[in-house]
Chain A
Amino acid sequence: MVLSEFAGVSMPDWLDAILRIIFIVALMTIMAFALIYGERKILARFQARVGPTRTGPIGTLQSIADALKLITKEDVRPITADRWAFELAPYMAFVPVFLVFVPMPFTETWFIRDLNLGLLFVFAVLGLNIVGVVMAAWGSDNKYALLGGVRAAAQAISYEIPMLLIVVAVVMVAAGRLAVDGDASAAGSINSIVGDQTTTPYILLQPLGFFIFIIGMLAELHRPPFDMPIAESEVVGGYFVEYSGMRWGLFFLAEYTALFLLVVLASSLFLGGWNWPFGADVGLGLQIVLTLVKTTVMIVLVIGSRALFPRLRIDQLMSFSWKVLLPFAIVQVIANGIILSYGGADWVVGIVSFGLLVALGGLVYYIMRRKQGEGARTVQTTPATPRVITAPEVTPVEAGGD
């Protein structure tokens, strides 16, 4: 979105830039508030509760109350903490996430900048997030925080690789399709990728890609079943265990902002973003609605996974990433390369990807059922064979004494 066009006035570049920054921060804070409230309400419904009801009509002001509480809370720094690492960590976690906002297309015209390498930018900057987490973990001088931070780092490294590979596969498909119009070099721009999905969302062409992207997204966001960096029952909150007040709030804000951005990214890459799949060129209003609907569906998926999945163990998470997801992602990239370089049709790509997804699901299902064991549900039962009740003999003893 170009603000000067939107507002209908001309303004200098620096003012435009400042206004855009304010716009980003304001919008993302509002989105984070809405997401926190939405998560609490939806999670409550999953859990046979009602969620917040007391602050405002049906609890809608709960996030604002929380924010006020966080701002007014005392900002505690442990005396043994590494001062600068501890104090700067929240910003290191928070700023990269907001930077990722720049190439995100919310509608056809609403975005900050259409970067030619937008996808690369997103992953390069989002990866910096982990620096803040590790700084917080190390700076807190707390063993739980250290364990949580190391877990987070290991997790981020292992899950960004299959995720990036799968994005490469998507870009390959996009480049192949965009080359028909003569501009394959635009395939790194998120806008071009969305623009290409007017009739065919890429989830039909890359179902495996969508699946791996969602898994990687959950891991990136520390969401169950990949929430061991912040596992309450093991490391009591993980890397932000020593934080309080608004510093903790910044981690929280970064987490929810990242959730929203990654969901928008997933919807742009796989669900067609602001496109209506049955006809091109819908108006701006409908584009906003479509973006919101697609992101909301995925957010409910993410929140549902929080309610319905327990937590994996750290070694299981790593082996799932390196031994299952990564090979499948590589196979997907190679398959796309072969098919597209021989001029295969789009539907061939889609069928191959779907076949890979079925293979992945079957493999996981087979492994888990073998681990669960035969007849695990029907524990062998011994029929009760009651005997006649015999009261135990009451034997007199020399008791008492003093």
Chain B
Amino acid sequence: MVQQTFEGEVLTEPVVVEREFETVDMNINIGPQHPVTHGVFRMVLTVDGEIVKDAIPYIGYMHRGGEKLSENLDYRGALGYQDRTDYLAAFNSEWVYVNAVERLAGIEIPERAEYVRLILAEFNRLLSHFMFMGAFGTDVGYFGTAFTWTFKERERIQDLFEAVCGDRIMYNYFRVGGLAWEPHETFIEDSHWVLDQVEVGISDVDELMTDNEVFVARCRDVGAMTADEAISYGVTGPMLRASGVPFDLRVDEPYSIYDRFHWEIPVGERGDVYDRYLVRLEEMRQSVTILRQALEQMPTSGPIEPERMPARLRPAPGEIYMRQENPRGEYGIYMVSDGTDKPWRVKMRSPCFHNLSSLKPQVINTYLADAVVALGSIDIVLCEVDR
């Protein structure tokens, strides 16, 4: 075919211009107001269709200057603030703080108080993991079923906490040197009853989720992290154990009386979202085991605080880094005393902050839906990330 241009030039064959079909990458805001962010977290995803090309997380919406606030109050006064960092595991956070102060000041606490603390902290681990199961189930797409089933169990544990300390979320029950007051009379029987219910609840969650084909399809091989990667990002807690590292501070840097019980550390194989779920599920069962033993061993009477406590707490100048295994990983308090009644420096090492830092490599080049699931599997508490 002969074609002629406007200038009169004769072209013997048509010119074929090949053009690629252009697509535009799209930025999608996940958060700060989005059902999946579990708080105020913002993640800007650059997506090519459904594939995530880039992810930029933004944190800091909940920053309240918790470390500085703790420095401005005396050692006992800052206790109430610790509940507000990790509000899903408030007893655990309180425990780290009081342990840090006690070791800094050299205070020995009575055995019974130690047992009560451990029992409440392990119950809190159950509470937190139930929250994970519910929220994660919703992220994966259960329309509220996982949420309501787990909240039924959470309710029972919270009722127990309410009976012990009068509050359901912000307990403020541990004290430097012991406990605020005696737990109620039927504490041990109530705890056993709650444990019976909770065991049923755990197997309910197991039956609802673990073997569900759709659940497996969504979670297997999503957000996989090798052990080296996990360690290099400072990931701790169930996420690290899911990657195959049997690191649990309750064993590896024992504190309190964990050496008196026998339990096992669940470890994952592939480090993916499914393994994180399985590790948490098994951890709940192990927590129940610990709790049963602790409730059996716990002395029924005895003091809950030392005989003599200084009226004003002035630890000798020194520093301490106390770290414990919180439900989300290694929660640490670094504290420097200058000999006055206020800490000179308080630093909180929050596990979620480090776990969250590993999000980006997990979500890049996956599907948008996988990014949501990977974010859910970290089990973030934004109050703790931002402090």
Contacts and interface: CB of A to CB of B under 8 A. Distances in A.
A392 B332 CA distance: 14
A47 interface: yes
Interface string B307-323: 00000000011111110
Contacts of B255: 389
Given A311-B214, A372-B216, A379 B279 contact: yes
17 contacts: A224-B143, A233-B35, A234-B36, A311-B141, A314-B50, A316-B218, A373-B220, A373-B269, A373-B270, A379-B278, A379-B282, A381-B266, A381-B267, A386-B254, A394-B316, A399-B319, A400-B340
A48 B200 CA distance: 14
Interface stretch (B2-10, B121-129, B227-235, B367-375): B367-375
Given A310-B215, A400-B339, A394 B106 contact: yes
Nearest to B37: A233
Contacts of A309: 141-142, 212, 214
Contacts of B259: 386-389
B54 interface: no
A7 interface: no
Interface in A214-244: 224-225, 227-228, 231-234, 236
Interface string B277-320: 01100100000000000000000000000000000000011111
A30 interface: no
A120 B103 CA distance: 79
A364 B282 CA distance: 27
A308 interface: yes
A314 B369 CA distance: 8
Given A234-B36, A392-B103, A395-B319, A383 B264 contact: yes
Given A234-B36, A392-B320, A392-B321, A312 B263 contact: no
Interface string B196-216: 000000000000111111111
B318 A379 contact: no
A46 B216 contact: no
A180 interface: no
A313 B321 contact: no
Interface in A149-193: 150
A313 B263 contact: no
B344 interface: yes
A47 B216 contact: no
Contacts of B213: 364-365, 368
B158 interface: no
A368 B376 CA distance: 22
B252 to A, nearest CB: 8
Interface stretch (B145-153, B172-180, B183-191, B379-387): B145-153
A397 interface: yes
Given A379-B268, A381-B267, A384-B261, 7 more contacts: A147-B50, A309-B142, A311-B140, A313-B369, A381-B264, A395-B319, A399-B319
A236 B317 contact: no
B88 interface: no
A233 B212 contact: no
A83 interface: no
B254 A389 contact: yes
A383 B261 CA distance: 11
Nearest to B151: A48
Interface string B60-94: 00000000000000000000000000000000000
B338 interface: yes
Contacts of B208: 308
Interface residues of B, number: 83
Most interface-central of B47, B104, B106, B282 (chain A CB within 10 A)? B282
B216 A379 contact: no
Nearest to A368: B213
Contact of B145 (A143, A147, A307, A398): A307
A381 B278 CA distance: 12
Contacts of B376: 233
A371 interface: yes
Interface in B309-368: 316-322, 336-340, 344-345, 367-368
Contacts of B264: 381-384
B28 interface: yes
Contacts of B209: 310
Contacts of A323: none
Given A392-B320, A395-B318, A399-B338, A236 B35 contact: yes
A310 B368 contact: no
Nearest to A382: B246
A5 interface: no
A312 B222 CA distance: 13
B141 A396 contact: no
Interface in B146-172: 147-149, 152
A80 to B, nearest CB: 15
A112 to B, nearest CB: 34
A229 B42 CA distance: 22
Nearest to B339: A400
Contacts of A72: none
B148 A48 contact: yes
A379 B275 contact: yes
Contact of A224 (B141, B152, B279): B141
Contact of A144 (B28, B142, B262, B321): B28
B56 interface: no
Contact of B318 (A313, A376, A381, A396): A396
B103 A394 contact: yes
A380 interface: yes
A49 interface: yes
Contacts of A225: 141, 214
Contacts of A386: 251, 254, 258-260
Given A313-B218, A368-B213, A371-B216, A234 B251 contact: no
Contacts of B221: 371
Contacts of B104: 394
Nearest to A313: B369
A337 B200 CA distance: 52
B254 A306 contact: no
A225 B254 CA distance: 44
A147 B265 CA distance: 42
A15 interface: no
Contacts of A233: 35-36, 138-139, 141, 372, 376
